[in-house]
Structure 1
Amino acid sequence: MTTDITLPDHPIFATIAHAAHELKVEAYVIGGFVRDLVLKRPSKDIDVVCIGSGIDLAHAVSKQLPHTPKVVVFKNFGTAMLRTEDGWEVEFVGARKESYSSHSRKPEVEQGTLEDDLARRDFTINALGISLNEETYGQVIDRFEGLKDIRRKNIKTPLAPGITFSDDPLRMMRAIRFASQLNFDIDPDTFDAIGENKERIKIVSQERITDELNKIILSKTPSYGFKLLFQTGLLHLIFPKMVKLHGVETINKNSHKDNFYHTLQVLDNVAEVSDDLWLRWAAILHDIAKPETKRYNEKVGWTFHGHEDRGARQVPKIFADLRLPLNEHMKQVQKLVRLHLRPIALVKETVTDSAVRRLLFEAGDDIDLLMQLCKADITSKNNDKVKRYLQNFERVEMKLKEVEEKDSLRNFQPVITGDLIMQTFGIAPSKEVGILKNAITEAILEGEIRNEYEEAFPLLLERGRKLGLTPVAS
């Protein structure tokens, strides 16, 4: 099937066409750029396939562009890339065909035809091309009815799905990622083949799996992608700890909620208000320790005491296992998981300023993210209950604002530092330094003193004497 689709009004396309004509090679825009053009999704990433050397074509195009952009060559892959001055990124490759061995998703590659190159694409919606050749310029090449699948919102492999997924198992993750990003269905045969080949995901590096997982998490309704991962069995292999949240247990007609689907609802709620990947990860992990903290009590029913602290302690290992960064992002997620129950405890009219100060002190600059997570954690189907909880959180936010304006406790640092303590008493680093520093911090948080030197230093001297320390002469 061929049809005409208007290429964007940008000189890069005419430049590529002219360079290909001079080199006497055929050239086509192919893949995701064409798909996004049909879907009217903005994109500046262009893949160009030529029947010949993609590297030679890249150099020829560069010479014809203003400012002659640098060509980055990847010899091992036979590809080259350049970036135009206004931010268009173009990758060039020669048409090729591939063959795979059972133990690797890296193919043996050889030169091929345009049909070979289209057939090796992961899905029909990505197996589209637009001609840049003189006689057929602008025509869409659609050998596998990709346009039809775009109209049907259907993810389908060009060739037999079992072969496609066995050859490159990462394509199973990509199928679910595209379904989640585009809100498409997965073709029944393609869906079944994911389940049948799920064990092949084990040959894919964790980094590549997590990259696709993060893209699912960042989609508009991430729960859709997670449900597909669960239904195909992939989630059981790539994130078994999350699967343990699934299920409902009933004792004496008392049931707890399904924490897997609750987590997905929290994730979707967060996605409605924030594109922050790490806040979304906090939503995924906020109840991760509920399975091992679950208990049944005849008087109160199901409890999950301490799941927030236990979950926070598990965050570093989960991040390490998934090859997520073990940096400030991990620490932020860990903090949000640990604190996610705290704001609701501040709802009572009798709550003290010191309790509010402590939350501000512990949450620091993440207090706004914490409140977003807490609001997202309200997943009741009872609208009156949801409304009541949200009103409660509004009261909490007012209390937080009042105390913050009065005490400026967000990321506050006590005026009494460890260095000052050691200088004052002429001591080396020791447990006494920590005891005194904590005593001053506690006094500030309890409202006994203000975080000012004139009030804090006399208290330091008093607490130091109780520990048997004597100030050195100044």
Structure 2
Amino acid sequence: MINGSPTRTSPLTIITSHVNADFDAMASMLAAQKLYPEARVVFPGSQERNLRNFFIQSMVYLFNIVELNRIDFAAVSRLVLVDTRRRNRIGDLARVLDNPDLEIHIYDHHPKNDDDIPAHKEFHMLTGATVTILSEILQKKMIPVSPEEATIMCLGIYEDTGSFSFPSTTENDFKAAAFFLSKGANLNVISSMITREFNPEQIGLLNDMIQTARHITVNGVDIVLTSVVTDNYFPDFSFLVQKMAKMENIDAIFALGLMENKVYVVARSRTDDVDVGDILDHLGGGGHPAAAAATIKGKTIAQAEQMLLEALHGKINPRRLARHLMSAPAIMAGPETTCGEARTLLNRYNINALLVGERAPGNDGFSGYITRQVIEKALFHDLDGISIGEYMSTEISHVKPDADIVEIQDKIIGNKQRILPVTEHGKVLGVITRTDLLNTLVQKSRLSSHEISAMNDHFSSKRLRMVLNFMRERLTDPIMQVLVQLGEVADHLNFNAFVVGGFVRDMFLYRDNEDIDVVVEGNGITFAKTFSRKYGTRTHTHQKFGTAVIIFPDGFKIDVASARMEYYQFPASLPVVEMSSIKMDMFRRDFTINTLAVQLNPNKFGRLIDFFSGQKDIKDKVLRVLHNLSFVEDPTRVFRALRFEQRFGFTIGKLTSSLIDNAVKMEFFKRLSGKRVYTELVLILKEENPAPTIMRLLDYDLLRVIHPRMKIEKDLKRLLDSAKKVVDWHDLLFIDETYERWTVYFMVLLRHCDLKTTHEICSHLTVAPRHAKMFTETRIGVGKQLMSLERRKRITHAEIFNLLKGFKTEVILYMMASTQSESAKKRISLYHTQLRNVTITITGKDLLAMGLKPGPLFSRTLQAVLDAKLNGQIKTREDEFTFIGKQLKDTDAKRPAGNRKPPGPGNGR
């Protein structure tokens, strides 16, 4: 079909792809046509029957096609190549490459080679399909896509990614497919094209391929070779190779088919050891690492196989296995070895990590490892004589001798592990260090460019990825706007700005948190002041720590800090602060889940930075410290660990738990000031439900940190649960008053402490005087009132009121929580919800008007009125005056006759 005929003199733009084009090539040509609407498409044809039939019968009208023999090659001024960049892959159109002043644009997803066609404009990305690259451009340019066009483009993605199952599939492929689906792509059509039924001819040929298959080993890699011979060309050969690879669970397969006078080679791979695109490039073909094809002319199938074997041996690097990389024998130390002795071993053998275990006849296992960094920190804190078993990393992976480089890399890099034992039958054969791995990876002469690129992508993707869409989903528009403004100010100052810590953590936990902490690689105070000048906010600064608070007109606040590092001069001391980078700033933090950062600068807005696998720990719901001496340097982190564990429903990691045990055993908490302990304790008690965290403190014997003689009775769990019910009950009353619910829990903790012990606790923790009085005299003093409420069978409302009046809400709730008497709880509840609000309208002025003189009778009379109203004897103001009149008459009647006085002028009202 020809849509117009170009003249010889008209400049011409041609869009084409490789010979034997597949669905991705066709989809990419269609997408390119939308970017170059004036261009002509030269469809190179395809040997896939499905593709040819589908194209000819249904979708050809979408293309602005010109036949190859109608092209004036000399008039071609621009060549647009999609899904290829190789001269030998574009057939007769290769002649165009010699045109003077030819402009070449390339869109391709295949790995680059040295002999690629040079381009003036190149759009390259290692995606599963080339049309994925073009889809992003279409979206950015907002070029409309019809449902029919979307179907073809989406089909290209499905085919080249194996319906998203090939290892080459990327996140961008999924996004592109989603975009085309949103434009009306027809999945029924795509499914019918991708999923094909076998016919008898295909079944027969597939059976021949399976019968002739043989396994060969090339440089330690298992390869499957198969070959068939047919008199005529068989169009679905690649389809059968894909089916065979899936049916037989083959990692790498090369199929040769002699058809007519040509040998067709089709290859599939799902292992990084075999890049079939690179291998078949040696035979004049091409493709990508997971799928490729080549056509060999003028050779027998035996000759073609020999060429293939030469390419395999030349292109497949020897597998780098654990047995080849390990150092043997492993240098080991027993867990009882002291930190001082361990440093001697590290220096003696010039190593940076030491395997910890027992090397003895019949016992050659390991229990962990310890690094030079941990040892040096331990010695700095005067822990020379402490055994390394206390601070070794116990969460340690190991590999078998035949483990490949991918497994080794994942365990060392993925687990942040400095040393990797190689074991067999329970014995340690040797170890692989991070240095061993690094030396292997940097031997570029032994690695293909694709392999190096993939490794770089592997490392960087673990640390960096875009989460902009996720942020838009999770955050409110006002918050997003503020983050954007923060990034713009950072760019203006040539700073890097990041939102960090709990804000990012809670975003991934789907928890609301608008406490924004920003870290700036630069001067945080300068940044905050600049922001305030531009957006009309106030700034409060702290020069010593390089921090500032940005305060908005509505009271909203943002904490700003300069990226800094901290070090501790001795265990449990406050940190010394120095300026640093975002990575060092993250490293000073307590747990991996708090080390996530999102960059705010406009050109990198939404880039997640995860140096310490914090996102993985969030996903696994595990809490880990960043280094083994974390609790030595700051024991208060233990309290935070237990608080976060219960708040988020996480589990404390095995190593982190053992480090907590060590911190308790070594009594590092004694070095903490009482004020720091109190601060952490109050934060725990302010949790929505602090009871589980308190019980976890008990598990680690940490409540004695508050006071060594603090009595913890068996009923603590019941008291804490009772306090939770009481404060929840109070909150549901929606009483318009503020109270400190954490103090209720604190009094529950002190429930069995006498006055002397409580005074000592308050003094040690430096409790504020108003709280100290509540925790001591008031808390203990209410015991009498509580006993009266519990034991008296009958009690009037006035008596309840007089027992409880004057006590703060916190004390009232503590009394309710600490009693097991249901009648006492009801009486306290009655007071709190009704009786405490009862008042009388009559005043002292009214009593004066009634002729009473000021004195004890005043207060007795008012109290009598209040008691009567509490007990339901009077209700209205008239009732109050009537009650007082009766009281006065009764009192006067009891006096001797000579002392009686007539009622005053104000009698009655």
TM over 0.5: yes
* Residue equivalent to 1:430: none
**Structure 1 CA distance, aligned partners of 2:674 and 2:783?**
24
Q: Single out whichever of 138-147 and 231-240 deviates more from structure 2.
A: 231-240
* Cα distance in 2, alignment partners of residues 99 and 146 from structure 1: 22
* Amino acid across the alignment from 1:214: V
> In the alignment, which residue of structure 2 is the partner of 1:255?
none
Please say if residues 270 and 279 of structure 1, whose CA atoms lie closer than 8 Å, have aligned partners that are also in contact: no
- Conserved in 1, the CA contact under 8 Å of 2:712 and 2:752? yes
- 1:189 paired with 2:672, answer no
Q: Secondary structure at 2:805's aligned position in 1?
A: helix
Deviations 1:383-404 (A, max 9, x none): xxxxxx75x5797589869994
The yes-or-no answer on 1:281 pairing with 2:743 is: yes
Please give the alpha-carbon distance, in whole angstroms, between the structure 2 residues aligned to 1:188 and 1:115.
25
Which residue is equivalent to 1:144?
612
Residues 340 and 89 of structure 1, relative CA distance in 2, 3 Å threshold: same
Q: How far off its partner does 1:29 sit?
A: 1.0
Residue aligned with 2:769, SS: coil
Find out whether 1:207 has 2:675 as its counterpart: yes
Aligned partner of 1:19 in structure 2 is: 489
Per-residue CA shift, 1:385-429, capped at 9, x if unaligned? xxxx75x5797589869994xxx8857899789xx9xxx9999xx
| Native 8 Å contact 2:572 2:668 kept in 1 | no
Which residue is 1:363 aligned to? 804
One-letter identity of the residue aligned with 1:48? V
The answer to whether the Cα contact below 8 Å between 2:548 and 2:559 also exists between their aligned partners in 1 is yes
1:268 aligns with 2:724: yes
SS in 2 for 1:233: coil
- Give the superposition deviation at 1:130: 0.3
Q: Which amino acid aligns with 1:267?
A: A
Structure 2: 5+ residue runs without aligned partners?
Answer: 1-461, 732-737, 875-879, 897-909
Counterpart CA distance in 2 for 1:142 and 1:191 is: 23
Seen in structure 2, the aligned counterparts of structure 1 residues 378 and 182 have a Cα distance that, compared at 3 Å, is farther
* Residue equivalent to 1:296: none
Compared CA separation, residues 367 and 27, structure 1 to 2 (3 A):
closer
1:59 equivalent to 2:529? Answer yes
Give yes or no for the alignment of 1:115 onto 2:562.
no
Q: Does the alignment pair 1:94 with 2:550?
A: no
Q: 1:130 to 1:403 in 2, by over 3 A?
A: closer
| Partner SS for 1:144 | coil
Q: What residue identity is the alignment partner of 1:327?
A: R
**How many angstroms does 1:377 deviate by?**
5.0
Q: Residue 461 of structure 1: CA displacement? A: 9.3
Distance change (3 Å), C-alpha of 1:105 and 1:464 = farther
Q: Does 1:166 align with 2:632?
A: yes
Residue number in structure 2 paired with 1:40: 510
Confirm or deny that 1:236 pairs with 2:704: yes
Question: How many angstroms apart in 1 are the aligned matches of 2:505 and 2:798?
Answer: 52
Matched residues in 1 for 2:895 and 2:635: separation? 64
Partners of 2:707 and 2:761 within 8 A in 1: no
Equivalents in 2 of 1:376, 1:229: separation in Å? 21
Q: Does structure 1 conserve the Cα–Cα contact (< 8 Å) formed by 2:572 and 2:669?
A: no
Q: Does 1:326 find its partner at 2:796? A: no
Deviation for aligned residue 1:326:
3.2
Determine what percentage of the aligned residue pairs are the same residue. Answer: 22
Contact 1:436 1:464 in 2 (8 A): no
Segments of 5+ residues of structure 1 without an aligned counterpart are 247-257, 293-310, 380-388, 428-432, 466-474
Partners of 2:833 and 2:499 in 1: CA distance: 58
Matches within 5 A, 1:271-350: 271-274=727-730, 278=740, 281-282=743-744, 284-285=746-747, 288=750, 290=752, 319=762, 321-327=764-770, 330-331=773-774, 334=779, 339-345=785-791, 348=793
Distance 1:314 1:179 in 2: 30
Is this contact kept in 1: 2:621–2:651, CA < 8 A?
yes
- The AA in structure 2 aligned to 1:22 is H
Q: In the aligned structure 1, how far is the partner of 2:611 from the partner of 2:773?
A: 45
Counterpart CA distance in 1 for 2:588 and 2:833 is: 61
**Is 2:529–2:539's contact at 8 Å kept on the other side of the alignment?**
yes
Partner letter of residue 361 of structure 1? Answer: N
Partner SS for 2:604: coil
* Larger helix percent: 1
Offset at residue 290 of structure 1 (A): 4.5
- Which AA in structure 2 matches 1:158? L
* Aligned counterpart in structure 2 of residue 85 of structure 1, from 553, 565, 569: 553
Residue 71 of structure 1 aligns with which residue? Answer: 539
Q: Does structure 2 conserve the Cα–Cα contact (< 8 Å) formed by 1:218 and 1:277? A: no
Tell me the residue number matched to 1:30.
500
Structure possessing the higher radius of gyration over alpha carbons: 2
Q: Partners in 1 of 2:601 and 2:676 — Cα distance?
A: 35
Counterpart-to-counterpart distance in 1, 2:825 and 2:688: 26
Aligned residues: 406
Aligned-pair CA distance for 1:119: 0.5
Question: Contact 1:361–1:410 (CA<8 Å) still a contact in 2?
Answer: no
- 1:370 to partner: Cα distance: 7.4
**Equivalent residue letter for 1:231:** D
Select 2:594's aligned residue among 126, 134, 145: 126
| Aligned AA (1:358) | E
What CA deviation, in whole Å up to 9, does each residue of 1:338-364 have, x standing for no partner?
Answer: 544444445x4xx14xx4322212223
- C-alpha contact 1:282 1:337 (8 A) present in aligned 2: no
Query: Match of 2:630, as an amino acid?
Result: T
Residues 339, 92 of structure 1: alpha-carbon distance in 2 compared, 3 angstrom cutoff? same
CA offsets 1:357-385 (integer angstroms, 9 cap, x no match): 22212223769877865665577xxxxxx
Question: 1:27-61: per-residue Cα shift (whole Å, max 9, x none)?
Answer: 11111111121122222221111221111211222
Contact 2:682 2:742 in 1 (8 A): no
- Higher alpha-carbon deviation: 98-107 or 23-32: 98-107
Query: Residue 487 of structure 2 contacts residue 602 of structure 2 at CA under 8 Å; is this kept in 1?
Result: yes
If the length of structure 2 is used for normalisation, what is the TM-score?
0.39
User: Equivalents in 2 of 1:273, 1:260: separation in Å?
Assistant: 20
CA distance in 1: counterparts of 2:556 and 2:834, whole angstroms:
49
Shift of 1:134: 3.7
Inter-partner Cα distance in structure 2 for 1:321 and 1:459: 58
Distance in 1, matches of 2:485 and 2:653, equals 38
The one-letter code matched in structure 2 to 1:165 is F
Deviations 1:284-312 (A, max 9, x none): 535846477xxxxxxxxxxxxxxxxxx7x
1:179 is matched with 645
Preserved contact between residue 46 and residue 88 of structure 1 (Cα < 8 Å): no
SS in 1 for 2:683: helix
What's the offset of the Cα at 1:464?
12
Relative distance call for 1:190 and 1:224 in structure 2 (3 A) is same
Range moving further from structure 2, 47-56 or 323-332: 323-332
Does residue 1:245 correspond to 2:712, yes or no?
yes
> Could you say if the C-alpha distance between residues 150 and 285 of structure 1 is closer, same or farther in structure 2, counting changes exceeding 3 Å?
same
SS in 1 for 2:538: coil
The answer to which structure, 1 or 2, has the higher relative contact order (CA under 8 A, 6+ apart) is 1
In structure 1, what is the Cα distance between the partners aligned to 2:812 and 2:889?
37
Once the 2 structures are TM-superposed, how far is the Cα of residue 21 of structure 1 from its aligned partner? 1.2
